[in-house]
Amino acid sequence: SWEFLVKKLKFDPEKIFATCFEGDENSPKDLKAFEAWEKTGINKSHIFFLGKKHNWWAVGETGPCGPDSEIFFDTGVDSCGSNCNPGCSCGKYVEIWNNVFIEFNRLKDGSLEKLKQQNIDTGMGVERTTALLQGFSDVFKTEIFSSLIEKIEEISRLSYKDNQKEMRIVADHTKSAVFAIGDRILPSNIEAGYIVRRLIRRAITASRKLSINDSFLSDLAKVVIDTNKKVYPHLTDQKSQILIILNSEEEKFAKALIVGEKWLKKTISNLKLQKGDKFPAEKAFIAVSTFGLPVDYIREHVLKEGFDFIEEDFEKQQKEHKKQSQKGLKKRFAGGMADNSEAVVRYHTATHLLHKALRDLLGDHVRQVGSNITSDRLRFDFTHDKKLTDEEILKLENVINEKVKADLPVVSQEMTLIEAKKAGALAFFVDKYDNKIKVYSIGGYSKEVCGGPHVQTTAKIGKIKIVKQKAVAQGRRRLYLKLAYGS
């Protein structure tokens, strides 16, 4: 990273600063990173040791984690005081690179154990680095965003200089949504699709502060696609689909926003009558989960009306809801299965064949997002934005039935999630699995992380027939599959 920044990009080495993990009671001081920095010839006074807040990476409360070493550029802005360092938020130092040393696994009791396979994950802040190379302290003035900001100014009839926060949100979130949809991560209420939907909705609520009340996302999306067409030609290929999806999301949220704003105003009025000083976390959660209002939008309105918004209470409410939802799912089904009868086990094994066949036929954007299995049928939900043709349905049936006829062995292995992904196993419901997981392989055809029971060979599944398909949400479809012979 030092060599690339200094020798390739020609950054002034005297403006480069680095941070390393200072260590604590659970993990040692990162002297290896410090020694590596010394070997580069960097000014030693430019190396700082900081705590876990700044120089520790973790995937979650448990799982892979480790120290990191970050690289900063000194912008030349005056320091905020004698203790000013790259960990400050005063604006003097801009982070442009991070090297993460993933060497530990954090257990449920908080203790750390060494990983058998240790890795280094490195990443550059491309947009920030571009801004610095072009002489800007603001990434939104670079060629990456300048045309987009100009379009927002044109639509809103306002200046970027006086409306930086809102215009940055609109520009950044619209660009991110366009790229995500271009990569077939479609807006939804689950997993990665939910992040895309939140990006779109936050862009829309920010646009309202710019007095943009009409549809605007498709106009901005066209600018994003045009700006990036040489490097990302697939955006041009998918332009019409991207615009259709954005228009649909904008139209739906515009209606939800009207209802949500009315509910929020009424709730605030009732709280004023009760003379409370804190906005209840459960009310904030309803605003998010029922009406789809972004958290920062709710927070701003609540604070404006004189109420306190307690972040910790809201986060606790979210975690509790997720916990209860998971409990409910476990009680009702195990992996979408109503029971462990012979027919249900056969259908469950067929799920893996269907998933693999769909991805091979339609593309890697296809992901299972749900299933429900009874002794009578398999219901399978997956990400895809078009109705399947009769020819595609027939191809799916033929492929699955060929695999059934081949009598492929179904074999399970226990391993960690990291090992499973390295082995090429699909794992889209990661939070459902513990440290040790089961990976089921069907011949050399399918390999997926799964906890449910399966038949021993594919011939025991029997011939299948896809009997119905339907759209269940934007970018999400459902197939119904039946076995040719009964339970």
d(CA 360, CA 396): 9
Cite the DSSP H helix spans in 15-140. 31-40, 52-55, 126-133
- What's phi and psi for 343, nearest 5 deg? -65, -45
Token output for 235: 């955006």
Where in the chain is CATH 3.30.980.10?
Answer: 342-483
What pLDDT score was predicted for residue 339? 55
- Helices 295-304 and 239-273: angle between axes, nearest 10 degrees: 30
Q: 467, 458, 460, 464: which is closest to 483 by C-alpha?
A: 464
* Eight-class DSSP state of 255: H
Arch. (CATH architecture) of 2-133: 2-Layer Sandwich (3.30)
Q: 206, 174, 176: which is closest to 192 by C-alpha?
A: 176
Residue that has been written with the tokens 């081949």 in this structure: 406
Where in the chain is CATH 3.30.930.10?
Answer: 2-133
Q: 482, 335, 327: which is closest to 400 by C-alpha?
A: 482
Q: Which residues of 172-204 are buried (b: 16+ CB within 10 A; e: fewer)?
A: bbbbbbbbbbbbbbbbbeebbbeebbbbbbbbb
The three-class DSSP label of residue 157 is coil
| Run of H or E including 288 | helix 281-289
Answer for the pair 5, 40: CB distance below 8 angstroms, yes or no.
Answer: no
d(CA 170, CA 165): 9
Strands 368-373 and 378-383: antiparallel
d(CA 128, CA 186): 27
What pLDDT score was predicted for residue 429? 53
- What's phi and psi for 200, nearest 5 deg? -65, -45
What pLDDT score was predicted for residue 59? 82
Give domain 342-483's CATH superfamily. Threonyl-trna Synthetase; Chain A, domain 2 (3.30.980.10)
Token output for 365: 């954007």
What pLDDT score was predicted for residue 428? 65
d(CA 365, CA 302): 39
What pLDDT score was predicted for residue 438? 85
Provide the residue-wise pLDDT of the chain in tens; the chain has 487 residues. 999 999 999 999 999 999 999 999 888 999 999 999 999 999 999 999 999 999 999 988 889 999 999 999 999 888 888 889 999 988 899 999 999 999 999 998 888 999 988 999 999 999 999 999 998 989 999 999 999 999 999 999 999 999 999 999 999 999 999 999 998 888 887 778 889 999 999 999 999 999 998 999 999 999 999 999 999 999 998 898 899 889 989 998 888 888 888 998 898 888 888 877 888 888 888 888 888 888 888 888 888 888 888 878 888 877 776 665 544 444 433 445 545 688 999 999 999 999 999 999 998 888 888 889 998 999 999 988 889 999 999 999 999 999 999 999 999 888 887 788 888 888 765 444 446 788 899 998 999 988 778 999 999 999 999 999 998 876 789 999 999 754 3
What pLDDT score was predicted for residue 255? 86
Cβ neighbours for 191, distance < 8 A, ≥ 6 positions apart: 367, 369, 428
Answer for the pair 18, 46: CB distance below 8 angstroms, yes or no.
Answer: yes
What pLDDT score was predicted for residue 354? 96
